[in-house]
Structure 1
């Protein structure tokens, strides 16, 4: 069966009209929106064009409710996508509830360094002014955002932030940007991008779980045969209480694999585990190691 790229997951039924070039797969009260795989993208222009097409699809889907976006390159067949929705339903619904009613904005504040001498205080350098304005801008944006991440800065930027906030607070963001503009109207240029789905705060990817990963997880918990969910939770709690900090991530990852087994014991196909990525984190480690 043909491979498709996961674009997003929604809760409930698919929209009556899908964005062009996409299809929907529904399972367990969830809908995966699938698009054509990008193939080999060579060069910056091709990458940017693909990203722009995906972003346009995500923004169209916002009319249907909360959108949990996917990292580019998450490819599954429609049958695998349906199985992955069923297997990872609790985790996906938890993330959709967390993001309900929330949107992402990106705010960039550019400054004209050549005009800095006209705004500096006595004994203040242009660098002092840059830091002072950057602090004021960060403070203003922090007042409206539930979460924020700092994105890469060019030399001419004082701020480049992705903000997660309730859709009901977009007017507060507008007022915050007015306050920033008032700092130095002639020397600052503000660009606002959004609203969009929270791609910088929660982007999913599905990774195949290899037989080796399952064996390691069973060994970590000392489990053979069918995995009982109640016993698994008790073992997880006990191991975490006794574990050193460096071991906790491995224990949690193994528990995720075994938890997946409790819901897919009779599926007979490959298992795919959802991972949620956010800006500043490494892309989740691949579970498709050697069998």
Structure 2
């Protein structure tokens, strides 16, 4: 049982950490940009830079959420001038020291994702149609719903020709398309031509809105899960490891376990290997360990490694 002094010390430590928390906005490769957006700071480690901003605080209400999202988006777009930007999810907060440790611990995964996204940007394309004009466009052999499906299919085909990846975003009744597109910056002219083709389907009846370019927030956004001591103990037990973790032995054990494991156990083995791999790069940090996860639209972020209360 904790003594009253220990509880007081823990409470003080928690408050002290809360005062130092900063929101992680993005990660870039290399040194900090020569100029930073107002209200941000840069933390560099292992050849990577984390851009930190003021914690958002309680975001109650739609207006507060939209205003915070707009401020973050403006910062992300300014950072694009300095290279590939790997954005973080809203509300991911670490202390500067934790951010530096997390960069070092997760540097291979972060560099892999930055290489994948290099030279690529996100656009959002929304296509509305004037429902009041639909009867003038239909003939006795085509219903309004058939017309909507035909236009939606043609629009999807036109956008698919230029995008490397796409995500379907929520539609309203007056919308035919709402997509986030990931494409190389060199193909933005092709996107413009595709939008011209879409407009030609029904110039007087379609309204097209294009947002971007921006960092790939819908395709790769970071979050950081604090690795609990119990998660570390479970990982050690699964691999039968005590003391310092040797990376070469860890890889050999992972390969052996995966070869003999049932399909249902493979995810747990990979999770445990990630935790121990983290230890090989942060064993002497003395602070909390954080494992990065990559979120994309429509895919949940794994939470199995987050610390329990």
TM exceeds 0.5? yes
- Mapped partners of 2:266, 2:199: distance in 1: 45
Residue matched to 1:154? 172
User: Is structure 2 residue 13 aligned with structure 1 residue 13?
Assistant: no
- Mapped partners of 2:195, 2:262: distance in 1: 45
Which of 248, 251, 276 pairs up with 1:258?
Answer: 276
User: Is structure 2 residue 52 aligned with structure 1 residue 34?
Assistant: yes
Give 1:190 deviation, angstroms. 0.4
- Mapped partners of 1:170, 1:9: distance in 2: 24
User: Is structure 2 residue 73 aligned with structure 1 residue 91?
Assistant: no
Which of 125, 128, 132 pairs up with 1:114?
Answer: 132
CA deviation string 1:48-97 (max 9, x = no partner): 10010000000000000000000011111111111111111111111001
User: Is structure 2 residue 302 aligned with structure 1 residue 284?
Assistant: yes
User: Is structure 2 residue 192 aligned with structure 1 residue 174?
Assistant: yes
Moved more, 274-283 or 28-37: 274-283
Moved more, 70-79 or 223-232: 223-232
| Contact 1:149/1:279 (8 A) holds in 2 | yes
Residue matched to 2:293? 275
Aligned length: 291
What runs of 5+ residues in structure 2 fail to find an aligned partner? 1-16
Report the TM-score, using the length of structure 1 for normalisation: 0.97
| Contact 2:226/2:307 (8 A) holds in 1 | no
Equivalent residue runs for 1:53-132 within 5 Å: 53-132=71-150
Give 1:267 deviation, angstroms. 1.4
- Mapped partners of 1:81, 1:42: distance in 2: 26
Equivalent residue runs for 1:94-243 within 5 Å: 94-243=112-261
User: Is structure 2 residue 267 aligned with structure 1 residue 249?
Assistant: yes
Give 1:235 deviation, angstroms. 1.9
Which has more radius of gyration? Answer: 2
- Mapped partners of 1:54, 1:286: distance in 2: 28
What runs of 5+ residues in structure 1 fail to find an aligned partner? none
User: 1:244/1:121 Cα in 2 relative to 1: closer, same or farther (>3 Å)?
Assistant: farther
Give 1:286 deviation, angstroms. 5.7
| Contact 1:113/1:126 (8 A) holds in 2 | no
Give the secondary-structure state (helix, strand or coil) at the position aligned to 1:213.
helix
Structure 1 residue ranges (4+ consecutive) displaced by more than 4 angstroms after TM superposition: none
Moved more, 240-249 or 28-37: 240-249
CA deviation string 1:188-232 (max 9, x = no partner): 100000000000000001111000111111222222222111121
Give 1:242 deviation, angstroms. 2.8
